[in-house]
Chain A
């Protein structure tokens, strides 16, 4: 082996509520740190260049392509990955809706779709199916589960909006 690793930087990330301090090289992406260092492989690598959305996670509540983020840029941030949204025994509403609507097949784009959908709803711009399709278009699904994904998201949106409507009445 040649010379040792070049200068590493200490970063602290709060990942799924847990504080993690690690030494990372400046070129390590958030995605690779999650997958290879923290073994949180729920965030997927589909292209490594921000074109497919499989690596979508929530950074301080906003959806981002973690393959386009260097870990050092996110020092001090709160990261939520799919593992932090819910577990099989206690699924997040969006995860449960994906199962119910068969909104995936191979499952590889799924964590990114779900994180993206959760982030999109928080953004508050999606109401109609057309808007969901537009705002989810950064998340590719080669299995073609799109119509089911939109139905799953619509259901979660409707549940979220239901109390609001009642309150308005």
Chain B
């Protein structure tokens, strides 16, 4: 029985909001521990080569220094790769291990760990560790490595490789008079969440409580047990708040390994907070060279699509993301060839960054579609509609739902797309050129098995728990909403718990699957708790509900009440009074419906519309406004859902206009590893963003939820780039679109 005014679907304010705005939400570097010491990592100053000698004598003599760990004196660690692959998002290859041996495989790699009594002393002593290297010439630009590009022999678990070709794209392209073939490139990017990657290890007589910045506490726990041979009963990971991650903290990172290594060695609590520069010595959105070739008939129907990429990876792992698959999926086209190759660089392994693959691949495809529209003298939106895919073009399955047409229509209407002039460089406002552009976005609606619990506690509150994370996505809030509705309770009486390995099992929070998966798990746990409560109510001495079943009662106002007679009820308080420990708990597991997945493809879609202003003389580009119309099934919380889209769009503005990690190609070092020179969008860069959620019914899971974490960024950069073309007549195929490229 649901609430008359359910919380699900509302713009419910975040339940963790008051803690966050008052500075009381604790992040990984903010847990205090008795007798804690501080660690600082010493970064390698070469990108490739080997350590010849380490002289730590000056550092050892510095004030407050307790220990200096290097590859020469670190505790024994497993030799083989396997233990380090206890990582649910591992990629093929041998994972990076800090302080493994004398080899240096990327610039900034930690080559020593200094532990001291204070943060300042550790930081100071880290600068005194002298390391001599034998350096080799590094390769850090994917363009320099493309000749050696190869198809990854081992595919990454969970990432679909490109589907096999269909039809004959090459012959069709050759025989077509309306065609284009272009190269696209998006600069390397770094996630740059605001919180620094950090680990605080509380050491308590061999028992560890680890506060690690992670998108899923079970991943670091499994990794630690595997790598350090720890008893799972002796280590817990507790990370209730995560200061942004965007994919960066999916895998165990070296702050975790080093902090725990130091803690075990010293038998003390340890804190290791990385520097902003060190945030550039781990995962990144790979630099990717893309070729898209399209051909079409006079009617604007696509006749062939070829999309091939060469994507950067490290020397030691074959990172893969689904970049080209979208080009076989989103448009109705009989002849498609897709290819995905890797090229090895002397950099850290790239990692998933908000909508990995889709963001890059759809930038290329959606820019090419705009170019095709221009060639055909067809409205770009009309071109999309003429090629609309009614089913999954890669595998022929019907979609579980696809309201992309409604998103196109409502987005275009809100934006005023009909006011767009056909010719580029034909709209002006004073000294500003005005451009309108649009693009399509797409992301797979995924789910993962999740456990959850629901409990009535002694104080009469409802507590729901799941070992997932809230990385700013709003998990705490949606779980509270779902639980409050299940019991027709005020949301203020619900506590949601996440980010703790003592809670029911959940994988990492990523891929936009948490809302659907954890949400449905909590829903099931609440149902199981209701069953348990009814069972206990029936069992009370002289129970008024002795013959009641779960179908015959409602749960509200702290009581289980008979539907047919409101005067017959049992209070939760009576049940709690009779319960051991004053707590009644039920568990449940959610797993995606395999039969449904066999029959249907599930994707989230969006239509993104952008208006840009370009200063005609200076080439400065401003995004005046964006309308993002999203079809993502049922929306649990209109406020946090909207925020997810806003955030994705803002990161898309960054991708289109600002963000670029720049390597020095001789030294292999990043020259802008800081927030002053790597420009993430600031307040002044973001003006008006309008979000529309179109009505969409989906039955892939009982809540009808698809997930929103990624879709906001997909298509945003293409829409902006297409708007810049419309404003200026200049097509920039290499992001970011900086002034030098426009003038």
Contact = CB atoms under 8 A, between A and B. Distances in A.
Interface of A: 1-6, 25, 27-28, 32, 35-36, 39-49, 51-52, 54, 81-83, 85-88, 91, 95-96, 98-100, 102, 104-111, 114, 132-134, 136-150
Interface string B286-318: 000000000000000000000000000000000
Given A147-B686, A150-B683, 9 more contacts: A1-B66, A27-B124, A46-B194, A47-B675, A48-B276, A141-B194, A145-B643, A146-B646, A146-B682
Nearest to A115: B23
Given A41-B26, A46-B276, A134-B683, A105 B195 contact: no
B695 interface: no
A144 B650 contact: yes
A2 B23 contact: no
24 contacts: A1-B64, A5-B117, A32-B119, A36-B118, A39-B32, A43-B23, A44-B27, A51-B675, A52-B276, A95-B22, A105-B472, A105-B474, A106-B241, A107-B241, A107-B243, A108-B195, A110-B20, A133-B687, A140-B682, A142-B680, A143-B194, A143-B647, A144-B646, A146-B650
Interface in B22-37: 22-27, 29-30, 32
B21 interface: yes
Interface string B229-265: 0000000000001111110000000000000000000
Interface stretch (B9-17, B80-88, B100-108): B9-17
A1 B27 CA distance: 29
A114 B124 CA distance: 32
Q: Interface on chain A toward B: helix, strand, loop, or mixed SS?
A: loop
B19 A88 contact: yes
A72 B218 CA distance: 42
Contacts of A54: 194
Contacts, number: 205
A91 B24 CA distance: 12
A1 to B, nearest CB: 6
A48 B275 contact: yes
A128 B46 CA distance: 48
B648 interface: yes
Contact of B684 (A137, A143, A145): A137
A113 B474 CA distance: 19
Interface residues of B, number: 73
Contacts of A134: 683-684
A95 B21 contact: yes
The 9 closest A-B pairs by CB, nearest first: A42-B23, A144-B650, A108-B243, A106-B472, A107-B20, A105-B472, A82-B23, A88-B18, A144-B647
Nearest to B691: A147
Given A106-B243, A108-B195, A140 B680 contact: yes
B646 A98 contact: no
B120 A27 contact: yes
B65 A2 contact: yes
Interface centre among B21, B22, B472, B682 (most CB of A within 10 A): B21
B410 to A, nearest CB: 19
Interface centre among A28, A99, A142 (most CB of B within 10 A): A142
A48 B648 CA distance: 26
Contacts of A99: 13-14, 17-18, 21
Given A102-B643, A145-B643, A47 B674 contact: yes
Contacts of B119: 32, 36
Contact of B18 (A81, A91, A111): A91
A128 B101 CA distance: 57
Interface string B180-198: 0000000000011111100
Interface of B: 11, 13-14, 16-27, 29-30, 32, 60-66, 117-121, 124, 191-196, 241-246, 273, 275-276, 471-474, 639-640, 642-644, 646-651, 674-676, 680-684, 686-689
Nearest to A107: B20
Given A99-B17, A146-B650, A108 B193 contact: yes
A141 B650 CA distance: 10
B27 A143 contact: no
Nearest to A108: B243
Nearest to A144: B650
B643 A25 contact: no
B655 to A, nearest CB: 12
Nearest to A146: B686
A36 B19 CA distance: 20
A91 B61 contact: no
A28 B650 CA distance: 35
B436 to A, nearest CB: 20
A144 to B, nearest CB: 3
B738 to A, nearest CB: 18
A132 B683 contact: yes
A106 B242 contact: yes
A39 B32 CA distance: 8
B120 A88 contact: no
Contacts of B21: 82, 91, 95-96, 98-99, 104, 107, 110-111, 114
A101 to B, nearest CB: 9
Given A137-B683, A145-B646, A106 B195 contact: yes
A117 B196 CA distance: 23
A143 B639 CA distance: 14
B23 A83 contact: yes
B62 to A, nearest CB: 6
Contacts of B651: 142, 144
A1 B37 CA distance: 12
B120 A32 contact: yes
B276 A49 contact: yes
A6 B62 CA distance: 10
Nearest to A109: B194
Interface centre among A39, A106, A133 (most CB of B within 10 A): A106
Contacts of A95: 18, 21-22
A136 B194 contact: no
A2 B124 CA distance: 13
A108 B18 contact: no
Contact of A108 (B27, B61, B675): B27
A134 B685 CA distance: 9
Nearest to B638: A102
A85 B20 CA distance: 13
B490 to A, nearest CB: 17
Contacts of B32: 39
A108 B472 CA distance: 9
Contacts of B273: 45
Interface centre among A6, A85, A107, A149 (most CB of B within 10 A): A107
Given A44-B195, A100-B13, A49 B674 contact: yes
Contacts of B471: 106
Nearest to B193: A142
B683 A149 contact: yes
Interface centre among A28, A85, A141 (most CB of B within 10 A): A141
A102 B640 contact: yes
B194 A104 contact: no
A106 B469 CA distance: 11
Nearest to A114: B21
B683 A139 contact: yes
B404 to A, nearest CB: 23
B22 A42 contact: yes
A52 B675 CA distance: 7
A60 to B, nearest CB: 20
B20 A142 contact: no
Given A105-B643, A144-B647, A149-B683, A45 B18 contact: no
B20 A104 contact: yes
A111 B17 CA distance: 12
Given A107-B472, A144-B649, A148-B643, A3 B63 contact: yes
A87 B22 contact: yes
Contact of B22 (A82, A133, A136, A149): A82
